[in-house]
Amino acid sequence: MSFWERLLKIDRKIIFILMAVLVLFPLLKPLGLGVNSGPRAKAVFDAVDAIPPGKTLLISVDFDPASMPELYPMLVALMRHAFARDVKVLLCGLWITGAGLADKAVTEIPPEYGKEYGKDVVYLGWKAGVDAVILGMGENIKNVFPVDYYGHPLDSLPMMQEVVRLRDIPFMVAISAGTPGFSDWLLYGQSRYGLRVGAGVTAVSAADAYPFLQSGQLTGLLAGMKGAAEYEVLVAKNGYSKAYMPAVAAMDSQSLAHLVILILVVLGNVAFFATRMKRR
């Protein structure tokens, strides 16, 4: 058996082990390859930066634990950015399995900036019926969420005196792992109530989001773990946070893994054509 034939019959377990080692190594010993922020992440950052202090940023937590490594860092970075600028944060969710994740962020992040629940941050929770939820929020948030995730009546929360409907929110970011997600916020929130929407999406759905970006429907886009890392860098660079950046820390592993996949794809193709020529 020739070298190329052996290469084509390589056991997949060897590739798995190789990938595991390549991902583990930079996590233990960071390479410091760095992350550059692109224009799409910058657009989301600028939009959040333009919200006047005291006004509200809406974040929709439309993901589940399966997409947590890519999307949770976005949620945390966005909240840190908002709180550092005294912007209030209103959270809700269209994914039932994301309810616990938003609760985790609401519990952990506001205390870092001395922010109070009810005054600076409110988590509405999850409700069934995507279109009805968004359309209802466009009319009056209290009609859809009479109480928040923790059971407090919305009337008892000072922050909710100023945020009555979607038109009171200057910008929102839908952090989505699929459907329902940013597309539903565009469908009902933007087309009907003129809500400005930014999106943070998993890498799998990034290609679907690009057309909305080019048509101007999406203000900006954070795509996958790279998008999360870009946002973390922007928040840190502008002095809004000094906290640990999990997405940035993961980018060395990501880059190394991609490099090896590229090499394997090229080698696999060369091996395929080399063996085909030999067969002829």
Partner 1 sequence: MHISTDIWTWVAVILTFGIFSFLWKDNPFYKLCEHLFVGVSVGYTIALTWYNSVYPDLITPLFRQGKPLYIIPFVLGLFYFARFIPQASWLVRIPMGFVLGWASGVAIPAFFQTNIIKQIQGTLLTPGIFSRWDVFLWALISFIGVICSVLYFFFSREHKGALKVAADTGIVFLMIGFGASFGYTVMARMSLLIGRFQFLLRDWLGVIK
- Nearer to partner 1 (CB atom), residue 255 or residue 275: 255
Asked if 236 touches partner 1 (CB under 8 A), the answer is: no
Asked if 152 touches partner 1 (CB under 8 A), the answer is: no
Total residues in contact with partner 1, by rule CB under 8 A:
55
Determine the residue type at 246: P
Least separation in angstroms between residue 125's CB and partner 1 is: 6
- Nearer to partner 1 (CB atom), residue 114 or residue 215: 215
Asked if 241 touches partner 1 (CB under 8 A), the answer is: no
Q: Are 220 and 198 in contact (CB under 8 A)?
A: yes
Exactly one of 5, 16, 269, 272 binds partner 1 (CB under 8 A); that residue is 16
Other Cβ atoms less than 10 A from the Cβ of 246: the count is 16
Exactly one of 83, 126, 171, 240 binds partner 1 (CB under 8 A); that residue is 126
Least separation in angstroms between residue 1's CB and partner 1 is: 24
Instruction: Kindly state the tokens that stand for 58.
Output: 């809406």
Give the sign of the dihedral formed by CA 126, CA 130, CA 133, CA 138: positive
- Nearer to partner 1 (CB atom), residue 108 or residue 116: 108
Of the candidates 79, 43, 56, the residue with the CA atom closest to the CA atom of residue 199: 43
Asked if 261 touches partner 1 (CB under 8 A), the answer is: yes
How open is the CA angle 230-232-238, to the nearest 5 degrees? 100
Alpha-carbon gap, residue 97 to 85, rounded angstroms: 29
How open is the CA angle 123-124-125, to the nearest 5 degrees? 95
Exactly one of 141, 224, 231, 271 binds partner 1 (CB under 8 A); that residue is 224
Asked if 270 touches partner 1 (CB under 8 A), the answer is: no
Phi/psi region, residue 131 (left: phi>0; alpha: psi -120 to 50; beta: rest), is: alpha
Q: Are 54 and 88 in contact (CB under 8 A)?
A: yes
Binding site for partner 1 (CB under 8 A): 13, 16, 19-20, 23-24, 27-28, 66-70, 96-97, 99, 125-128, 131, 135, 146-147, 149, 183, 186-188, 190-192, 202-204, 206-207, 211, 214-217, 223-226, 244, 246, 249-250, 253-254, 257-258, 261
